[in-house]
Amino acid sequence: MGKVGHQTKSIQRGEFAKMKKNGVFLFALSFVMLLVACGPERDASSEKNGSDTNETAEQPDKLVVWAPNDQASTVEEIAQGYTEESGISVEVVPFAMDEQEEAMSLDGPSGNGPDLFFQPGIGSLSVKGLVQPIEVDEEILATYSEGSVEALSYEGEVYGLPAVVESLALYYNKELIPEAPETWNDLEKLAQDLTDTANDEYGFLYPATDFYFSFPFMAGYGAYIFGEQEDIFQTDDIGLASEEAIKGGELIQRWFESGYIPTGITQDVAGGLFNEGKVGAVINGPWALAEFKEALGDKLGTAPLPTLENGEHPITFLGTKGWMLSAYTEYPEAATDLAIYLTSEESLKTYYEQTGEIPAKSSILSSDELQNDPLVNGFATQLEHAKPFPPVPALSAVWDPMADALSFITQGEEVDESLTDAVEKIQQDIELNYSE
């Protein structure tokens, strides 16, 4: 999602909330010829960051990057080190993530776009021709956290380098729930004692009609969005009305029938009540950590989502935000070198210290600093039970029908019928807009 991740719901859900709004993708795009401009050569590539940029390639005087609005100053600070090392200046332009894709479509071809831009997944960017594969040694790719490179890849090509990873976890108020519940049955028992709807007091809350938040309970029973064959997602195989998905939907419906969660609850309402000390636990992402910590202080705890009745953890989405290589950059090698620098261990440590976002670097995730931070550790544990979004444009056909289905489910409609109707709508949308 900081809060930028939440703005786009990553989640969150990052680019996929943006993808929901894109109805038609362009499948036939002309190749963009890269112009080579003259500029000063670097004396050496960045050994500190493992760059293998060709030292004989002509280099620019300046590279332009689009960074999230509230993190641009941090990126600018990190980029100063790259300038000192390479002699190439870096212009950091604050730019909301959910506005970058549309702007790239307009500014890129006209030569006014960035060399690198910051996005939470590949999604439609490749199909629209806005990115190009990024050439990086396998040794460097192996340093990023599990699944993060995959999240920025499409059809076997890597289009960006991961900077941060995020997933959902359980926030809880230690004053109301002294120890993190291990199972959902444990949390439901606590909800029986803590829920007092007349006073807006609840055991746990979360925005259940948001597919990003509710799919984990289906996935924990074995449901999937699209089936896979030899690591290729099959968009004609939709697993959202399966027996496993129905089981997850029935669990969600039970929470509403029991009165634990009121209909129409939103993430903002749940978070506000949690900040007021009226909710024992909420489900949210790391982008909410600073706000909750400020409100609850030492009373705040985090934990992985409790296990389901089958003993499995809910499988949350693995969100990955990183630096994408623009299809329109005139300096792909220098921009790649900068992307490596911005996602080096030293750079991501700085990024974490200043933004609180979890670095997509295995060495940092396993470090004592993060392992000994109880608030971050809850997310780190849940990341072990997280999987990337299917990196296919057809995913955008899923969000709205599933949100409708979940709305019906929370209102007491039949779970199997609601999910079956949603899958039919998804299939129709895919056939209309995403079939070659």
Q: What is the pLDDT of residues 382-423, one digit of tens each?
A: 988 999 888 888 998 999 999 999 999 999 999 999 999 999
Identity of residue 357? E
Q: How confident is the model at residue 270 (pLDDT cuts 50, 70, 90)?
A: very high
| H/E segment holding residue 89 | strand 89-94
**Burial class (CB within 10 angstroms; exposed 0-12, middle 13-18, buried 19+) of 354:** middle
What does the pLDDT average to over 158-177? Answer: 96
CATH no., domain 3-166+318-388: 3.40.190.10
Q: Is the pLDDT of residue 12 over 50?
A: no
Phi, psi dihedral angles at 23 (to 5 degrees)? -85, -40
350's CB contacts (< 8 A; 6+ apart) are: 74, 77, 78
Predicted pLDDT of residue 55:
44
Q: Are 279 and 273 in contact (CB under 8 A)?
A: yes
Q: Are 121 and 319 in contact (CB under 8 A)?
A: yes
pLDDT tens, position by position, 329-347: 999 999 999 999 999 999 9
What does the pLDDT average to over 347-365? Answer: 91
pLDDT tens, position by position, 198-239: 999 999 999 999 999 999 999 999 999 999 988 789 999 999
What does the pLDDT average to over 352-372? Answer: 87
pLDDT > 70 in the chain, percent:
87
Is-same-fold flag (3-166+318-388; 169-317)?
yes
Mean pLDDT, rounded, of the chain? 87
What does the pLDDT average to over 324-333? Answer: 97
pLDDT tens, position by position, 135-155: 999 999 999 998 899 889 988
Distance CA 146, CA 34 (A): 32
What does the pLDDT average to over 319-330? Answer: 96
Q: Are 419 and 246 in contact (CB under 8 A)?
A: yes
- How far is residue 369 from each of residues 121, 353, 366, 376, measured CA to CA in Å? 27, 11, 8, 10
Ramachandran region of residue 148, left (φ > 0), alpha (ψ -120 to 50) or beta?
alpha
Q: How confident is the model at residue 243 (pLDDT cuts 50, 70, 90)?
A: very high
**Residue-wise DSSP of 170-219:** EEEETTT-SS--SBHHHHHHHHHHH-BGGGTBEEEE--TT-HHHHHHHHH
Domain boundaries of the chain, sorted by first residue: 3-166+318-388, 169-317
pLDDT tens, position by position, 169-181: 999 999 999 999 9
Predicted pLDDT of residue 428:
97
Q: Are 78 and 351 in contact (CB under 8 A)?
A: yes
Ramachandran region of residue 10, left (φ > 0), alpha (ψ -120 to 50) or beta?
beta
Distance CA 421, CA 198 (A): 35
Distance CA 58, CA 333 (A): 9
> Among 191, 205, 208, which Cα is nearest to 408's?
208
Give the DSSP letter of residue 240: T
Q: Which CATH number fits domain 169-317: 1.25.60.10, 3.40.190.10, 3.30.1330.100, 3.40.50.1970?
A: 3.40.190.10
**Residue-wise DSSP of 95-134:** --HHHHHHHHHHHTTTT-S-SEEEES--TTTTTTT-B---
What does the pLDDT average to over 284-293? Answer: 91
What does the pLDDT average to over 294-310? Answer: 97
What does the pLDDT average to over 340-357? Answer: 94
Of the two residues 372 and 281, the one the predictor is more confident about is: 281
Length in residues, the chain: 436
Predicted pLDDT of residue 436:
63
> Among 272, 172, 217, which Cα is nearest to 402's?
217
What does the pLDDT average to over 26-43? Answer: 33
- What's the token pair of residue 358? 């979890």
Let me know the angle formed at the C-alpha of 127 by 12 and 22, rounded to the nearest 5 degrees: 55
Residue 238's DSSP bridge partners are 226
Predicted pLDDT of residue 259:
96
Q: Is the pLDDT of residue 251 over 70?
A: yes
Predicted pLDDT of residue 57:
63
Of the two residues 368 and 253, the one the predictor is more confident about is: 253
